[in-house]
């Protein structure tokens, strides 16, 4: 690659280790990141993304649709038929260019076509750069649930080019900001004081650490779901009611404040740590309370159904020794904290 104007963060997984490049205008370097023995490249992207790096190898572009409905087994079937027609074999490579929908789908196609091909990711959204593209979780949705069919399949490289974020809408940016704010409580203290590029690098470093210690989410990797138990419930209830078009990052931000209030009620943190949560979340322009009226019992029911909760109220909560999983939290306390969440001054 050319003169250093990027951070290189290695996700250290032994013989499946890979670099994540964070910087500006890195697209011209993508060809040199592709291993020398790769013959052809199948690019998987969406029509509105409009990024195709210059490659010296034969390539074909496969477009998938927008929205979660495109993350389907049907799309995997279409991609694999396309790869077969193109003559992709085990020495070739898939290149995902887009946000989490593209990297999840292309990654799962790469994990399964010819029993596993190499793939690279050019992550073009903030959410993908700080979360979805790092760590090898690939999956598609089925009618019974999101991300229910997938594989752990690590990429060969990930490119986080900050220049690609310039065209994101404000709402899309907020979506990534919620995930970013989360890292401020997972080891990236002082995150909100850094430049955007340094923030992305710091988040990638924290995420890489979690993935290295628990690639298959046996325990520690689940802590990356900080703020997500209530966040997912808000999304589920808001979706059912068609009440509000809340972005994932906004729902996570509200979930972070809720988790801080709950941790305080459980004696795990003090008021100054709750204030730190409020300061960080506000610094990203994210909401700290529910934007619509909802019966707390509906949120509690949705939180019990969270696939990581196993039927009881389980949260990732901050504490003296950092965040940890706390199970069997009393629903009466959760209800009180949900009311407190919306009565903050």
Residues binding ligand GLY (CB under 6 A)? 131, 135, 137, 217, 221, 224
Of 11 and 341, which CB lies nearer to ligand GLY in the complex structure? 11
Q: How far is the CB of 240 from ligand GLY (least distance, A)?
A: 23
From the list 122, 106, 105, the residue with the least C-alpha distance to 164 is: 122
Q: Which of 169, 200, 181 is nearest to 282 (CA)?
A: 181
Task: Quote the distance between the C-alpha of residue 166 and its chain's center.
Answer: 19
What is the smallest separation between the CB atom of 20 and ligand GLY, expressed in angstroms? 13
Q: How far apart are CA 209 and CA 1, in angstroms?
A: 25
Q: Least CB distance from residue 100 to ligand GLY, whole Å? A: 9
Q: Contact, 149 vs 124, CB < 8 A?
A: no
Residue 42 vs 323, nearer CB to ligand GLY: 323
* Distance between CA atoms of residues 228 and 185, nearest Å: 13
Cβ neighbours of residue 290 under 8 Å, at least 6 residues apart?
A: 234, 254, 341, 342
Give the separation between CA 216 and CA 106, rounded to whole angstroms.
19
**Shortest CB 134 distance to ligand GLY, Å:** 7
Which CB sits closer to ligand GLY, 137 or 277?
A: 137
Q: Which is nearer to ligand GLY, 221 or 247 (CB)?
A: 221
**In angstroms, what is the minimal distance from the CB of 187 to ligand GLY?**
15
Kind and range of the H or E run holding 286 = none
The residue among 5 and 146 lying less far from ligand GLY, judged by its C-beta, is 146
For residues 32 and 40, what is the distance between their CA atoms, to the nearest angstrom? Answer: 14
């Amino acid at each position: 690659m050319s003169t250093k104007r990027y951070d290189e963060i290695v996700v250290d997984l032994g013989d499946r280790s890979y670099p994540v490049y964070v910087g500006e205008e890195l697209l011209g370097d993508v060809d040199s990141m592709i291993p020398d023995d790769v013959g052809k490249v199948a690019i998987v992207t969406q029509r509105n993304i409009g990024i195709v790096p210059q490659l010296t190898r034969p390539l074909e572009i496969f477009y998938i649709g927008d929205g979660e409905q495109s993350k389907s087994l049907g799309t995997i079937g279409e991609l694999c038929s396309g790869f077969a027609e193109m003559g992709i074999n085990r020495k070739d490579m898939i290149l995902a260019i887009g946000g989490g929908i593209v990297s999840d789908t292309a990654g799962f196609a790469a994990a399964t076509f010819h029993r596993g091909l190499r793939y690279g990711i050019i992550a073009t959204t903030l959410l993908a750069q700080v979360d979805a593209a790092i760590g090898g979780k690939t999956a598609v949705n089925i009618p019974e649930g999101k991300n229910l069919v997938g594989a752990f399949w690590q990429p060969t490289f990930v490119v986080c080019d900050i220049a690609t974020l310039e065209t994101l809408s404000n709402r899309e940016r907020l979506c990534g900001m919620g995930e970013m704010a989360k890292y401020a409580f997972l080891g990236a203290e002082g995150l909100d004081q850094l430049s955007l590029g340094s923030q992305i690098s710091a988040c990638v470093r924290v995420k890489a650490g979690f993935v290295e210690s628990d690639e298959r989410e046996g325990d520690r990797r689940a802590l990356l779901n900080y703020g997500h138990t209530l966040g997912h419930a808000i999304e589920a209830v808001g979706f059912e009611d068609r009440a509000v078009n809340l972005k994932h990052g906004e729902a996570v931000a509200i979930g972070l404040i809720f988790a801080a209030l709950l941790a305080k009620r459980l004696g795990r943190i003090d008021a100054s740590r709750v204030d730190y949560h409020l300061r960080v979340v506000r610094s990203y322009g994210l909401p700290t309370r529910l934007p619509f009226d909802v019966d707390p019992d509906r949120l509690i029911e949705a939180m019990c159904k969270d696939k990581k909760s196993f039927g009881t109220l389980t949260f990732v909560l901050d504490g003296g020794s950092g965040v940890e999983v706390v199970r069997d939290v009393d629903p009466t306390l959760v209800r009180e904290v949900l009311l407190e969440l919306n009565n903050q001054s």
